[in-house]
Amino acid sequence: MNFPGLGILGVLAFVVALLFSVMVHEAGHYLTAKKFHMRVTEFFLGFGTRLWSFQRGETEFGIKAIPAGGYCRISGMSVNEELPEADKHRAFYLASVPKRLIVLGAGSFLHFVLGFLILVILFAGVGVTAVTKTIDQVVPCVSNSSSGISDSSCTATSIPTPAKAAGLLAGDEVISINGKESDNWVDYTTIIRESARKEVIIAVMRNGERLLIPVTPAARTLNGKEIGYLGIINKLGNKKENPIKAVSSSVRITGDLLQNSVTSLFALPTKIPALVRQTFGNEERDAQGLVGVVGVARVSAQTASEPSLESREKIATFLIIIASLNIFVGVFNLLPLLPLDGGHMAVAIVDGIRRFNAKRRKLSPPPAIDVEKLLPITLAVFALLAVLSLLLLAADIFNPINIYQ
Catalytic residue ranges: 26
Residue 257, SS3? helix
Strands 128-138 and 232-239: antiparallel
CA 315 to chain centre: 15
Write out the H or E segment, with its range, that includes residue 305: helix 293-305
Rounded distance between C-alpha atoms, residue 346 and residue 369, angstroms: 11
Strands 232-239 and 150-151: unpaired
Q: Which residues contact residue 232 at a Cβ distance below 8 angstroms, ignoring those fewer than 6 apart?
A: 135, 137, 138, 139, 161, 163, 168
**Residues 261, 265, 266, 269: what is their CA dihedral angle, to the nearest 10 degrees?**
150
Tell me the DSSP string of 22-80: HHHHHHHHHHHHHHTT--EEEEEEEEEEEEEEEEETTEEEEEEEEEEEEEEEETTSSTT
Q: Interhelix angle for 4-35 vs 311-333, to 10°?
A: 40
Q: What does the DSSP 8-state code read for residue 87?
A: G
Q: What does the DSSP 8-state code read for residue 228?
A: E
Q: Which residues contact residue 123 at a Cβ distance below 8 angstroms, ignoring those fewer than 6 apart?
A: 240, 241, 245, 246, 249, 250
Rounded distance between C-alpha atoms, residue 368 and residue 104, angstroms: 16
Residue 127, SS3? coil
**Residue 343 amino acid letter:** G
User: Are the beta carbons of 285 and 158 closer than 8 angstroms?
Assistant: no
Residue 170, SS3? coil
